[in-house]
Amino acid sequence: MADEAIPLTPAELHILLSLADGEQHGYGIMQEVSQRTDGRTKIGPGTLYGTIKRLLAAGMIVESARRPDPKLDDQRRRYYRLTAAGKRALTEEIRAMADIVALARRRKVVAAAS
């Protein structure tokens, strides 16, 4: 999958984007996606953990060995971080999306950003 990064599924894209700023646990990823999209996109636990499993197998993310202070966090949480392959896949996907948006603007499907 790392070599075949494009196209990413919407869930893969959102998870990789959530990890672009640093390590995050699953519930945190779900919250960030919902907040970032003003609630328009929600990733449920089944989709989240199934997608995380695929991203782990593809080498796009890894489980982090670092843990927050146990007094500040639930020890059952697993934290994930983006790998170089995941960052490449995310970058390629965003570039492809930007190309599509540019084409849509040239064809006047959407207005240019002000």
For the residues of 51-71, what is the DSSP string, one character each? HHHHHHHTTSEEE-S----TT
Contact indicator for 25, 80 with CB cutoff of 8 Å: yes
pTM of the model: 0.85
| Strands lying side by side in the sheet with 79-82 | 24-25, 79-82, 61-63
pLDDT digits (tens, 9 = 90+) for 7-25: 899 999 999 999 999 999 9
Q: Give the chain's radius of gyration (CA, Å).
A: 16
Domains and their CATH numbers in the chain = 10-106 (1.10.10.10)
For tokens 């070599």, name the residue. Answer: 3
pLDDT digits (tens, 9 = 90+) for 25-75: 999 999 999 999 999 999 999 999 999 999 999 999 999 987 665 665 666
pLDDT digits (tens, 9 = 90+) for 75-92: 678 899 999 999 999 999
